[in-house]
Chain A
């Protein structure tokens, strides 16, 4: 079932200097690191998400806000330096121009938000919660994959931008 029909052509139509082979090990290390940070800062907790949506603590806002600030500074430095990535793959800085009304961002965002409030976990924490031994989250993961599949099935009939 897994035989891919897309052939061997790589995705992006980029043709600068030859890219180096991409080892996946750094991503495993980053995943382990993030799993530990997510667990020890309790952002994977349904209770913390409730506290956030009830505006009863600064914890989640502080984490998201300072993560955005550090990421923005990092991106600015990377862009300003004009440095190339270690494996010489081109930088994927998001550059899509904004075209109102952005229907998919509104509707998709609200639907995700409804689910985030119910499940108390966004995609990263779903994985981390499974690692924490909350094994019933594999059902939530399967349901999320079914949701993604359903989107792929209905995509051409849904309003976009």
Chain B
């Protein structure tokens, strides 16, 4: 295996999935990441709201620590291999080029995801708007890709199946209906 190419799905998927039973074995906790947004609110500006009035240190300290690890793991992963273009399919490359994304290098399109483009229409909608919807939606649905799609589906929870269907409905609407006009406003 070329150490610099993407790890194949049959290696990465099991390496991710095994984290769920490992955390159960250690502490009995259910793996999920998006609750860290709630913990951060509770720790900084709870604003007297009931939703943020809980012992965030004892309930959320574990996942905040894991989030710190995720940042550190990103640093290590980045150092392990020089960044090359993500090997997406030729059809996707053609579709994205058709939407005006001429630079497909890096982990995300630099024409949108950079400090200098943050205050353009695509930057505002995709970074600020996308971030807001990720935070609001995961708290409303009480879980994200980790809590619902992986921990939840692995526990055969109907609520998680519905949430994952919602994730895909939203993602398909964005990809096929919203992105063309948004990227049409690229400077």
B is a partner of A: yes
CB contact list, B10-55 vs A, under 8 A = 10-30, 33-34, 36-38, 40-45, 47, 49, 51-55
CB contact list, B62-92 vs A, under 8 A = 62-63, 65-78, 80-81, 83, 86-89, 91-92
| CB–CB A108/B146 < 8 A | no
**B91: nearest chain-A partner, CB-CB:** A56
Neighbour of B137 across the interface among A63, A111, A142, CB < 8 A: A111
Known: A123-B36, A128-B73. A71 touches B139 (CB 8 A): no
Q: Which residues of B contact A146 (CB under 8 A)?
A: 132, 135
Distance in angstroms from A91 CB to nearest chain B CB is 4
| CB–CB B54/A11 < 8 A | yes
**A114: nearest chain-B partner, CB-CB:** B170
Q: Which residues of B contact A151 (CB under 8 A)?
A: 51, 135-136, 139-140
| CB–CB B63/A27 < 8 A | yes
| CB–CB B145/A124 < 8 A | yes
**A128: nearest chain-B partner, CB-CB:** B74
Q: How many residues of A contact B (CB 8 A)?
A: 126
| CB–CB B91/A54 < 8 A | yes
Chain B's interface: helix, strand, loop or mixed, by majority? helix
| CB–CB A32/B69 < 8 A | yes
Annotate A104-146 by CB proximity to B: 1 below 8 A, 0 otherwise: 1111111111111111111110111111111111011111111
Give Cα distance in the complex from A44 to B78, angstroms.
Answer: 12
Give Cα distance in the complex from A57 to B90, angstroms.
Answer: 10
Known: A38-B74, A128-B74, A134-B107. A147 touches B131 (CB 8 A): yes
Distance in angstroms from A100 CB to nearest chain B CB is 9
Give Cα distance in the complex from A101 to B10, angstroms.
Answer: 35
| CB–CB B167/A112 < 8 A | yes
Give Cα distance in the complex from A7 to B53, angstroms.
Answer: 10
A5 within 8 A of B: yes
Q: Which residues of A contact B45 (CB under 8 A)?
A: 1, 149
B8, B19, B70, B179 pick with most chain A CB within 10 angstroms: B70
Give Cα distance in the complex from A70 to B70, angstroms.
Answer: 21
| CB–CB A32/B72 < 8 A | yes
Neighbour of A35 across the interface among B14, B72, B149, CB < 8 A: B72
Annotate B148-187 by CB proximity to A: 1 below 8 A, 0 otherwise: 1111111111111011111111111111101100100000
Neighbour of B12 across the interface among A41, A51, A134, A144, CB < 8 A: A41
Known: A51-B92, A149-B47. A140 touches B127 (CB 8 A): yes
| CB–CB B114/A71 < 8 A | no
Known: A108-B166, A112-B141. A143 touches B132 (CB 8 A): yes
Complex A-B: 11 CB contacts under 8 Å:
A42-B86, A69-B13, A75-B20, A94-B157, A113-B137, A115-B174, A117-B172, A120-B130, A126-B134, A132-B107, A144-B131
A2-B44, A133-B78, A144-B37 given; name 15 further pairs at CB < 8 Å: A4-B53, A4-B56, A34-B70, A35-B73, A38-B77, A52-B171, A62-B8, A68-B150, A86-B26, A90-B28, A94-B152, A118-B130, A124-B145, A127-B67, A147-B132
